[in-house]
Structure formats: structure tokens, C-alpha cells
Amino acid sequence: MGPGFRRDDDYFFRKSDEMTELVFREDAYARSCPARVVGADERGIRLDRTVFYPTGGGQPGDTGILRLASGEAIAIVDTVKGEGPDEVVHVPAPGSALPAPGTEVTAEIDWERRHRLMRMHSCLHLLCAVVPGAVTGGQVSDGRGRLDFDVPGSSLDREAIAARLNELIAAGHPVTPRWITDEELAARPELVRTMSVKPPAGAGRVRVMAVGGADAVIDLQPCGGTHIRNTAEIGPVTIAKIENKGRQNRRIVVAFA
């Protein structure tokens, strides 16, 4: 075996040490997966693959457990992004004994909490479609969610927004990942209208979450969060409040009914 092979081995080892296979990206409904510990330090535990979503895009990181072969469990109280691309750091409860690299575990999220976060996160996509005006910020928390809109005056009608939102939820629209091309975007500018994050131009195509069928698009966003499959799964919601956050900024807070 020549020196070239050694370099490749080191390279692949380093890559696998830094990157995590993101199971939630392909399957947001995966509640657990077998995994191997690739690192553990004061920041947290890194696995070769995970169902734990790390804090990002306004969605909180998952909580849950890492179950060891002995049956013991390490409680995970938060999940955050690491320094490398697609690196996920599982934050153990204070005082937890850290597992050695190579340890086989089963990573299990607190599914009830994650499902509530997925429902609320997906609900905010619908809110983007209901309220005119650019989105300037947002945050999902357990049971609630908020979006900030760049809209002047106090023209927002709380009851009307709630009614329209619940109508879209109850209609049972599909929520699916899609690839759209630059040509499709150019031909249908209305697709971009509600996007709070503009897709990068010139990339050829961009992966977006689409609410509604191909010919009845309700919302399109480039989004790395986790989503339910159908809007009916969100369930009834209320508009908890609409706050003034500056002259042009209105914060709409949504809660489960």
C-alpha cells in the first residue's frame, strides 16, 4: 500500500469524523436510527448519522436520548450545528458520562415535541402565504411560532388571518420537497413572491419546500427545516397576538388552538 492510499484513508477518516448523515433531511418522520459515536467533548457528542435536527432556520434543536447497548441512556437536552458542514452536536445533560468514540448507540428523538415543532414550522409557511409583505424574521418554539412582517400601519386583521390560516390547514394541502429550475422561476415570478429567503440565482435549480400541488402552489421556500406531509396534520391554530415591533414591523404570534 503506497503513500497515496494512506493519504486517502486519512482524508476519508477525517471527512467521516466531521460530517454527519442527516437522516431527518430525507425523512422528517424518522424517530430513531442506529449510529456510532465519532467524537465526544465538552461541546457535545457527534455521531456518524442522526435523526436529531440541530437548531437553525428558526427551528429549535431536538431533544431525546442516545441509548447504549447496555440499555443505559444519555439524555440529550439540545442539538446544535458544529463547525463543519452538516456537523451535528448532541448536547448531553450536565454531568453525563461521555461515550467513547466507536460506541454503538440508538439515537431517539422526543418525537412528541419534534412533531409539534414540525406542525408549527409548517404552519408558518402557510402564514407567509396569508400575510402580504416580506418576512424579516421568525422563530418556532414548542406550541407557538412567530413571524415578523415588513408591513406599514396596522392594517392586519387578526380574525381574518386566523380564518384564512385555518382554511388552508383544513384543506389538507400536500407539503413536499421539490426541485425547481431557474427557467420555472423566471416563467412564474409569483412562485418567488412569498419567499422569505430568495433562492440563489444562477444555481440552475434549487430545492424548495412546496405547500400545495404543482399547479396550485400556496408557498415555496428554500428551507432546511422539518415539515409535516399534509397541512391537515397541523390542526387548528389561533393568532395569539399581533405586536408592533417598529414602524414597519408587525409580529404575528401563532399558537395551537
Region of 4-12, 63-71, 190-198, 216-224 interacting with Zn ion (CB under 5 A): 216-224
- Among the listed ranges 32-40, 47-55, 169-177, 215-223, the one in contact with Zn ion (CB under 5 A) is 215-223
**Shortest Å distance, C-beta 68 to Zn ion:** 33
The one-letter amino acid code at 54 reads P
225 binding Zn ion? (CB under 5 A): yes
* Residue least distant from Zn ion (Cβ): 223
Torsion angles phi and psi, residue 121, rounded to 5: -55, -45
3-state class of 226 per DSSP?
Answer: coil
> Measured from the CB atom, is 103 or 122 closer to Zn ion?
122
Least distance to Zn ion, CB of residue 219, Å: 9
∠ Cα 171 241 130 (to 5°): 35
* Identity of the residue, 121 or 250, whose beta carbon is nearer to Zn ion in the bound complex: 121
165 is a site residue for Zn ion (CB under 5 A) = no
Q: Does 234 bind Zn ion (CB under 5 A)?
A: no
In the complex, the smallest distance separating the C-beta of residue 133 from Zn ion, rounded to whole angstroms, is 18
All cell numbers assigned to 177: 420537497
User: Cα–Cα distance between 119 and 142 in angstroms, integer?
Assistant: 10
Range in contact with Zn ion (rule: CB under 5 A) among 87-95, 166-174, 221-229, 239-247: 221-229
Stretch that binds Zn ion, among 1-9, 179-187, 225-233, 236-244 (CB under 5 A): 225-233
Please tell me the distance from the alpha carbon of residue 238 to that of residue 75, in angstroms, as a whole number.
Answer: 33
> Least distance from C-beta 229 to Zn ion, angstroms?
13
Q: Take residue 143 and report the three cell numbers written for it.
A: 406550541
Determine the 3-state secondary structure of 256 from DSSP.
Answer: strand
Cα separation, 83 vs 89, in Å, equals 9
CB of residue 90 vs Zn ion: minimum separation in angstroms? 22
Q: How many CA atoms lie within 13 Å of 161's alpha carbon, on the beta-carbon side? A: 24
Within 136-155, the residues that bind Zn ion by CB under 5 A are none
CB atoms within 10 A of CB 154: 9
Q: Which of 65, 74, 223, 234 binds Zn ion (CB under 5 A)?
A: 223
> Is-contact 38 48, C-beta < 8 A?
yes
Q: Which residues make up the interface to Zn ion (CB under 5 A)?
A: 223, 225
